[in-house]
Amino acid sequence: MARTLVILKGDGIGPEVVDAALKVLDWAAQKGGYAVERQEALIGGAAIDRTGDPFPSETRALVDRADTVFLGAVGGPQWDRHPKNPESGLLALRARMGLWANLRPFEVFEGMESFSPLARPHLRGMIIRELLGGLYFGQPRGRSVVNGEPEAMETSRYARHEIERVVRLGFQVAQRQGVPLVSVDKANVLETSKLWRQTVEEVRQDFPDVPVIHRYVDAAAMEFVKKPELYQVVVTENLFGDILSDLAGGLVGSLGLLGSATVNGLQGSRGLYEPVHGSAPDIQGQGIANPIGAILSVALMMEWSWGDREPAQWIRQAIRDTLKEGYRTPDLGGHDTTESFTGRVLQQMEQI
Chain positions contacting Mg ion, by CB under 5 A = 242
Does 73 interact with ligand NAI (rule: CB under 6 A)?
A: yes
Q: Cβ(93)–Cβ(135) under 8 Å?
A: no
Interface pattern 93-132 for ligand NAI (x via CB under 6 A): ----------------------------------------
Q: How many CB atoms lie within 10 A of CB 11?
A: 28
Q: Which stretch binds ligand NAI (CB under 6 A): 58-66, 74-82, 188-196, 314-322?
A: 74-82
Q: Which sequence positions are flagged as catalytic?
A: 136, 186, 218, 242, 246
328 binds ligand NAI (CB under 6 A): no
What 3 state SS string does the chain have? CCEEEEEEEECCCHHHHHHHHHHHHHHHHHHHCCCEEEEECCCHHHHHHHHCCCCCHHHHHHHHCCCEEEEEECCCHHHCCCCCCHHHHHHHHHHHHCCCEEEEEEECCCCCHHHCCCCCCCCEEEEEEECCCHHHCEEEEEEEEECCEEEEEEECCCCHHHHHHHHHHHHHHHHHHCCCEEEEECCCCCHHHHHHHHHHHHHHHHCCCCCEEEEEHHHHHHHHHHCHHHCCEEEECHHHHHHHHHHHHHHHCCHHHCEEEEECCCCCCCEEEEECCCCCHHHCCCCCCCCHHHHHHHHHHHHHCCCCHHHHHHHHHHHHHHHHCCCCCHHHCCCCCHHHHHHHHHHHHHCC
Residue range at the interface with ligand NAI (CB under 6 A); choices 67-75, 97-105, 120-128, 166-174:
67-75
Q: Which is nearer to ligand NAI, 9 or 186 (CB)?
A: 9
244 or 289: whose CB is closer to ligand NAI?
Answer: 289
Least distance (Å) between residue 47 CB and ligand NAI: 13
Over the window 195 to 234, marking each residue x when it contacts ligand NAI by CB under 6 A and - when it does not, the resulting string is ----------------------------------------
Number of residues that bind ligand NAI (CB under 6 A): 22
Least distance (Å) from ligand NAI to the CB of residue 306?
Answer: 22
Residue whose CB is less far from ligand NAI, 13 or 126:
13
Euclidean distance between CA atoms 157 and 210, whole angstroms: 27
Check residue 279 for interaction with ligand NAI (CB under 6 A).
Answer: yes
Q: Which is nearer to ligand NAI, 210 or 258 (CB)?
A: 258
Nearer to ligand NAI, 170 or 253 (CB): 253
Q: Does residue 277 touch ligand NAI according to CB under 6 A?
A: yes
Question: Exposed, middle or buried: residue 110 (CB in 10 Å: 0-12, 13-18, 19+)?
Answer: exposed
Burial of 51 (0-12, 13-18, 19+ CB in 10 A): middle
Minimal distance, residue 283 CB to ligand NAI, in Å: 5
Which of residues 20 and 126 has its CB atom nearest to ligand NAI in the complex?
20
- Please state the closest distance from residue 87 (CB atom) to Mg ion, in A: 12
Residue 22 and residue 7 in contact, taking contact as beta carbons nearer than 8 Å: yes
68 binds, among Mg ion, ligand NAI, none (CB under 5 to 8 A by kind): none
Angle, helices 217-226 vs 238-252, to 10°: value is 10
Q: Give the one entry of ligand NAI, Mg ion, none that residue 93 binds, where binding means its C-beta sits below a cut-off of 5 to 8 angstroms depending on kind.
A: none
CB of 245 vs Mg ion, minimal distance in Å: 7
Q: Which is nearer to ligand NAI, 321 or 331 (CB)?
A: 331
289 binds, among ligand NAI, Mg ion, none (CB under 5 to 8 A by kind): ligand NAI
Binding-residue pattern over the window 254 to 273 for ligand NAI, x denoting contact by CB under 6 A: -xx-----------------
| Residues in touch with ligand NAI (CB under 6 A) | 13, 17, 73-76, 87, 90, 255-256, 274, 277-283, 289-290, 293, 331
